[in-house]
Amino acid sequence: MKAARLHSYDDDRLQIDDVPEPTISGPHDVIVRVGGAGLCRTDLHIIEGILAETFPDLELPYTLGHENAGWVEDVGSAVSSVSVGDAVIVHPLVSCGVCLGCRRGEDMYCDAGAFPGLSQNGGFAEFLLTGERSLIKLDPSLEPKDVAAMADAGITAMRACKKVAAQSHGLTKVVVMGVGGLGHIGIQCLRALSPVEIIAADTNEGARKLAEETGADHVIEAGEGVIDRVLELTGGLGADAVLDFVGERGVPAQVPGMLRQGGTYYVIGYGEKVEIPNWDFVIREINVVGNLVGDYMDLVELMALAARGKVKLHTQVYPLKDINQAIDDLYGGRLNGRGILVP
Q: Which residues would be at the binding site for Zn ion (CB under 5 A)?
A: 40, 42, 95-96, 99, 102, 110, 152
For residues 96 and 190, which CB has a smaller minimum distance to Zn ion in the complex? 96
Rounded CA gap, 34 and 89, in Å?
Answer: 10
Exposure string for 116-130, b = 16+ CB within 10 A, e = fewer: bbbbbbbbbbbbbbb
Sign of the torsion angle spanned by Cα atoms 300, 304, 306, 307: positive
Q: What is the dihedral of CA 154, 71, 142, 62, to 10 degrees?
A: 30
For residues 110 and 302, which CB has a smaller minimum distance to Zn ion in the complex? 110
Q: How far is the CB of 40 from Zn ion (least distance, A)?
A: 3
Rounded CA gap, 268 and 156, in Å?
Answer: 8
Q: Using an 8 Å Cβ cutoff, are 91 and 296 in contact?
A: yes
For residues 122 and 343, which CB has a smaller minimum distance to Zn ion in the complex? 122
Measured from each CB, the residue nearest to Zn ion is 40
For residues 257 and 333, which CB has a smaller minimum distance to Zn ion in the complex? 333
Sign of the torsion angle spanned by Cα atoms 68, 143, 245, 207: positive
Q: How is residue 120 annotated by DSSP?
A: B
H or E element at residue 130: strand 127-131
Q: How far is the CB of 275 from Zn ion (least distance, A)?
A: 25
Give the Å distances, CA to CA, from 251 to 224, 232, 310.
10, 18, 28
Q: Which residues contact 155 (CB under 8 A, 6 or more apart)?
A: 91, 293, 294, 295, 298, 299, 302
Strands 29-39 and 338-342: antiparallel
For residues 144 and 256, which CB has a smaller minimum distance to Zn ion in the complex? 144
Q: Using an 8 Å Cβ cutoff, are 179 and 155 in contact?
A: no
Q: How far is the CB of 92 from Zn ion (least distance, A)?
A: 7
Q: How far is the CB of 81 from Zn ion (least distance, A)?
A: 17
For residues 35 and 180, which CB has a smaller minimum distance to Zn ion in the complex? 180
For residues 9 and 109, which CB has a smaller minimum distance to Zn ion in the complex? 109
Q: How far is the CB of 153 from Zn ion (least distance, A)?
A: 6
For residues 176 and 233, which CB has a smaller minimum distance to Zn ion in the complex? 176
Q: How far is the CB of 211 from Zn ion (least distance, A)?
A: 20
Q: How far is the CB of 266 from Zn ion (least distance, A)?
A: 17
Sign of the torsion angle spanned by Cα atoms 169, 171, 172, 174: negative
Q: How far is the CB of 176 from Zn ion (least distance, A)?
A: 18
Give the Å distances, CA to CA, from 235 to 97, 147, 174, 229.
48, 38, 13, 10
